[in-house]
Structure 1
């Protein structure tokens, strides 16, 4: 009888995933927000000056001139201000140039000059207002207004940032957007601006800088928290240049890093009326939170979320959530370790390992949250491990161990970076089992669970024996110093043996290399693995409570480093409407996060155990889980202080 609905098993499997078997990733999208700058411009006023500025012009006798001859009014007020600068005059000049930059039919060169002067007068206003505050209280060492209730101080920050944003957009159209780019701009009144962009500590070298975007041009969806900081400067998203000839084995091909553009001005106010050499500085806001200008600490505006989301959203990794399960050969070399940011010597790697039917994109909320902590940002760097989730987790663990070695040789060939020896593994779901095997001693436990015969007794060729040995025999990896497990089925998941699990088993397509290796074993040593095991080589099979891998780990394979567990617990009221409730029974006393029972998520010997009210797919995104990640990383940092030198020293990129 023919099957009238050949896709029904697939449909049933996918329908069941969000509430059961899978670890589907969070989706991160970036939308181009072309109206962001226009909205900011509107908030500053488009057609008229503020009442405070008009009052200043009336006091100076220039209010009528502003309406009929704005250029003359600006020139007169500028000359008066050079002789006798006041906060009122400086703010008025900044706002007047902001208005003139938006005037109808102004040439781009003139618009650029007005934005430059708008930013310049705003900068002088902010520093002069801050100086007045400092005169009243010498202990104050940061940019702050003399009058905390004067709204012009915040508005001057907006004028500066908006003017610099607009200037950067104009310069980008003139092909000036990367470190080292320069251009001369002549204005109608004979003035000249020699504009250049300077690298002041970006995390990628100038020759690798690709496209540069304003962070305000994008709107991030899919993340509940935006990591931003307020001050002066324009947050940027800097792409690493894509080279089609380069086979990338270390970084995401779409990696982007944060930057902040800052334009400093001379103390000499009169210099704003002359020909100027204008240097726009590009800073890394993760390293530079601010700096001193005229003895004032000026904080940098920053946006760390947009570069992270932009790089991941365009990486193609999200598609591997399903494709890596249904088409295991998509990753030709198996698992791969990728750095989310340029390698920095002295920072401890945090390696994030996703679970079944997932991808590194699922870690975006975690990385985004942890980056918001300055102490963690200074001391840690984030790496992700991506792999075909259709293969048994023991195979994946062997690939992770190999990747840790490969990346170490690439970024630290002489082994001098002691921070790498303090690596923290964080695994979600099946990724926790992968991490556990990278931090444990197998002894004979794994092979004994697979076969009753000794490996060296089998009539297998040397390559096959070596391949088997790399999977079943292992020691704690010397780089791994701590492990965090989130929703990890240490004792298996009963869903693997349900109808949903059987469908998943039928749909999974492990890599062809693994299948060919299995056929070689069966051909050269028939019966050594047993017919049942030989036909159950998917990740779903390996997660069953009676899987040889699970049984071996439950009995013997325990991490030799400190480890922590995070488990999800669903409230009883939510169980009746979920697919796994139908499969397991809503009264199941072992119920946990809907996929992993609580007793399976526990692991004796853990230094800490945190329970969160979340389902399996969101356990690691829960606020309590994020708080636990921060706590563990701070603890690990303190325990590493006696081993590591001061972190954060910039080194050349590999």
Structure 2
């Protein structure tokens, strides 16, 4: 790193620095830092260049930081400059510490964390006061004058223009779907960026309205210019943003590369916050699914990457894709995973019958495949793996099964072509009840999926659902019209237009029919099932789905996890089994 010599010269310039007394003072300063944490400090005068010989680096960083805090509370934009100065001093302290070893262990971590916090404060304030444009530069005032610190972006699959508004971690609420640590310690300030969707057709259709992705900031100050003995010159500092998914460590100073901080839960938490600000999607999608049917779609977590086989995660009843937070982070951190795969999710309102949700998913799989590989130019698109949790597993099952006339025969006493109905209604019925296996899917992982329905405990929920869920008006009209024009043609199973909860109950007449549908023999099937509070070899189910209901005779593997239905999807053992199925070793 540029400036090691400058930092060491500054270190040596402090009288008695290498004496035992100086080490005691340095240790005391660090102890105060650790004890102080992130709380505010008393107001202090700004740090000037003449103080260089009087203060050690850590106290200088702390003093500049608390001056930045004071100014930011007053709404003064020069707080950015003081935070920046604090980050420079902390960077010099970290560089000097790793070069000569005056600190070690927890003390070195404290200096690193001070650097991270000062830089994070600087970026937050710069965003607030309009000093940061993530595409070209960060504008700051230094002792050598005003300057624009250039920005470099390293390792991202996102384009430079995708770096929009910077997300400050302090403004993001805790993600209730996060059950495992998502912020991994290391060097750098963990931030995220928002990327609004342009609304254009094509690839933009499969990115969120506002995509959020993680980044780790590293400031590389020109320490020779900041602390050198030669006449002052403008420092050639550089601000870097690294992709924490693809950059495990960074070179910084004379020591071995330092682990890069990875706040991988931040982007997901912010994305969920954006969704919830528009209303509770999971609840609304259950109670009033008609309002959200047009928003049922596949979403890519990152821009499409040719040659990487997609993993598509499908949530269950009364849920949304954020359910998979822990699994997503764990898979992304698996060595080699991002070299071979890309992650997609399917979001849908769960109040409608799963036959309709499965039909939407079928069309979405074909649409995204045609968008990115219209002539099979990218065979990875036809190597799709589906991971379906609970009811989501039934949606996945219907992507790799052949319906024939079986499902329609369970709903009607007469062939479809013999019934009187508008052609548009006939097309809708065909989409719901008649389908072939998708040629795009190679593998399905069933996670706590009720192939034979849920336990009797769901009967109460079914009764409640019939009073809460508002059936979509379009399908209700079709059913009423068919029943009116063709008396006696519809069996009760279709005439009552069952909700998703009705369809999941063990008494559902559709489930035995779907259970008997033939699978595409080329598709690899795998089952992960819960055994509740009992050991895997003695459990009977996950308290909602019996083991017999989760079992798939055609599955290549079946793994039992000591977990309930409500927590199996984030258990480390579950995620390890998903890794194994995908061909990765467990950590």
Q: For residues 622 and 423 of structure 1, do their structure 2 counterparts lie closer, same or farther at Cα, with a shift above 3 Å needed?
A: same
Q: Give the deviation of 1:259 after TM superposition.
A: 0.5
Q: Give the deviation of 1:432 after TM superposition.
A: 0.9
Partner Cα distance (1:117, 1:322) in 2: 48
Residues 345-494 of structure 1: matches in 2 within 5 Å?
345-494=306-455
Q: Give the deviation of 1:337 after TM superposition.
A: 1.7
Q: Give the deviation of 1:443 after TM superposition.
A: 2.6
Q: Give the deviation of 1:254 after TM superposition.
A: 3.9
| Correspondence for 1:569 | 531
Q: For residues 512 and 114 of structure 1, do their structure 2 counterparts lie closer, same or farther at Cα, with a shift above 3 Å needed?
A: same
Question: 5+ residue gaps in structure 2?
Answer: 1-10, 26-43, 72-77
Q: For residues 269 and 399 of structure 1, do their structure 2 counterparts lie closer, same or farther at Cα, with a shift above 3 Å needed?
A: same
Whether 1:287 aligns to 2:258 is: no
Whether 1:210 aligns to 2:125 is: no
Helix, strand or coil for the counterpart of 1:478?
coil
| Correspondence for 1:615 | 564
Helix, strand or coil for the counterpart of 2:165?
strand
| Correspondence for 1:42 | none
Q: Give the deviation of 1:302 after TM superposition.
A: 1.5
| Correspondence for 2:208 | 252
Helix, strand or coil for the counterpart of 2:294?
coil
> Which deviations, in whole Å up to 9, do the C-alpha atoms of 1:229-274 show, x marking residues without a partner?
3332211121123669999842333431000111224585678642
Partner Cα distance (1:120, 1:101) in 2: 13
Q: For residues 241 and 504 of structure 1, do their structure 2 counterparts lie closer, same or farther at Cα, with a shift above 3 Å needed?
A: closer
2:217 is aligned, of 261, 279, 293, to: 261
TM norm structure 2: 0.79
Whether 1:56 aligns to 2:22 is: no
Question: 5+ residue gaps in structure 1?
Answer: 1-49, 78-90, 130-145, 574-588, 638-654
Q: Give the deviation of 1:382 after TM superposition.
A: 2.4
Helix, strand or coil for the counterpart of 2:310?
strand
| Correspondence for 1:237 | 192
Q: Is the 8 A contact 2:268 2:322 kept in 1?
A: no
Helix, strand or coil for the counterpart of 1:255?
strand
RMSD: 3.9
Partner Cα distance (1:193, 1:614) in 2: 56
| Correspondence for 2:234 | 275
| Correspondence for 1:199 | 153
Whose relative contact order is higher, 1 or 2, with alpha carbons under 8 Å and at least 6 apart?
A: 1
Helix, strand or coil for the counterpart of 2:132?
coil
Q: For residues 59 and 69 of structure 1, do their structure 2 counterparts lie closer, same or farther at Cα, with a shift above 3 Å needed?
A: farther
Whether 1:301 aligns to 2:250 is: no
> Which deviations, in whole Å up to 9, do the C-alpha atoms of 1:518-568 show, x marking residues without a partner?
223224433222355312432233224453421212223435311111222
Partner Cα distance (1:509, 1:270) in 2: 66
Partner Cα distance (1:600, 1:186) in 2: 66
Q: For residues 270 and 480 of structure 1, do their structure 2 counterparts lie closer, same or farther at Cα, with a shift above 3 Å needed?
A: same
Partner Cα distance (1:190, 1:118) in 2: 15
| Correspondence for 1:7 | none
Q: Give the deviation of 1:367 after TM superposition.
A: 1.9
Helix, strand or coil for the counterpart of 2:583?
helix
TM norm structure 1: 0.72
Q: Give the deviation of 1:481 after TM superposition.
A: 1.2
| Correspondence for 1:114 | 85
Partner Cα distance (1:441, 1:190) in 2: 72
Partner Cα distance (1:128, 1:294) in 2: 7
Q: For residues 267 and 99 of structure 1, do their structure 2 counterparts lie closer, same or farther at Cα, with a shift above 3 Å needed?
A: closer
Q: For residues 299 and 553 of structure 1, do their structure 2 counterparts lie closer, same or farther at Cα, with a shift above 3 Å needed?
A: same
Q: Give the deviation of 1:290 after TM superposition.
A: 2.9
Helix, strand or coil for the counterpart of 1:388?
coil
Q: For residues 438 and 69 of structure 1, do their structure 2 counterparts lie closer, same or farther at Cα, with a shift above 3 Å needed?
A: closer
* Number of residue pairs the alignment of both structures matches: 538
Q: Is the 8 A contact 2:135 2:163 kept in 1?
A: no
Q: Give the deviation of 1:309 after TM superposition.
A: 1.6
Partner Cα distance (1:162, 1:459) in 2: 69
Partner Cα distance (1:280, 1:602) in 2: 53
Q: For residues 298 and 425 of structure 1, do their structure 2 counterparts lie closer, same or farther at Cα, with a shift above 3 Å needed?
A: same
Q: Give the deviation of 1:433 after TM superposition.
A: 0.8
Q: Give the deviation of 1:303 after TM superposition.
A: 0.8
1:549 is aligned, of 499, 507, 510, to: 510
Q: Give the deviation of 1:410 after TM superposition.
A: 3.5
Helix, strand or coil for the counterpart of 2:307?
coil
Greater alpha carbon shift after TM alignment, 261-270 vs 413-422? 261-270
| Correspondence for 2:541 | 592
1:99 is aligned, of 60, 63, 66, to: 63
Q: Is the 8 A contact 1:192 1:275 kept in 2?
A: no
Q: Give the deviation of 1:311 after TM superposition.
A: 0.8
Q: For residues 125 and 461 of structure 1, do their structure 2 counterparts lie closer, same or farther at Cα, with a shift above 3 Å needed?
A: same
Residues 307-318 of structure 1: matches in 2 within 5 Å?
307-316=267-276
Q: Give the deviation of 1:166 after TM superposition.
A: 3.2
Q: For residues 177 and 378 of structure 1, do their structure 2 counterparts lie closer, same or farther at Cα, with a shift above 3 Å needed?
A: farther
1:628 is aligned, of 563, 577, 581, to: 577
Helix, strand or coil for the counterpart of 2:311?
strand
Q: Is the 8 A contact 1:428 1:485 kept in 2?
A: yes
Q: Give the deviation of 1:318 after TM superposition.
A: 7.7
Helix, strand or coil for the counterpart of 1:285?
coil
Q: Is the 8 A contact 1:337 1:403 kept in 2?
A: yes
Helix, strand or coil for the counterpart of 1:257?
strand
Q: Give the deviation of 1:329 after TM superposition.
A: 1.0
Q: Give the deviation of 1:442 after TM superposition.
A: 1.8
Q: For residues 392 and 218 of structure 1, do their structure 2 counterparts lie closer, same or farther at Cα, with a shift above 3 Å needed?
A: closer
| Correspondence for 1:164 | 119
Whether 1:224 aligns to 2:179 is: yes
Partner Cα distance (2:57, 2:503) in 1: 70
Q: Give the deviation of 1:205 after TM superposition.
A: 2.8
Partner Cα distance (2:67, 2:458) in 1: 70
Q: Is the 8 A contact 1:234 1:262 kept in 2?
A: yes
| Correspondence for 1:18 | none
Partner Cα distance (1:172, 1:503) in 2: 48
Partner Cα distance (1:172, 1:68) in 2: 25
Partner Cα distance (2:557, 2:328) in 1: 21
Q: Give the deviation of 1:339 after TM superposition.
A: 2.4
Q: For residues 294 and 55 of structure 1, do their structure 2 counterparts lie closer, same or farther at Cα, with a shift above 3 Å needed?
A: closer
Partner Cα distance (1:451, 1:68) in 2: 83
Q: Give the deviation of 1:490 after TM superposition.
A: 0.8
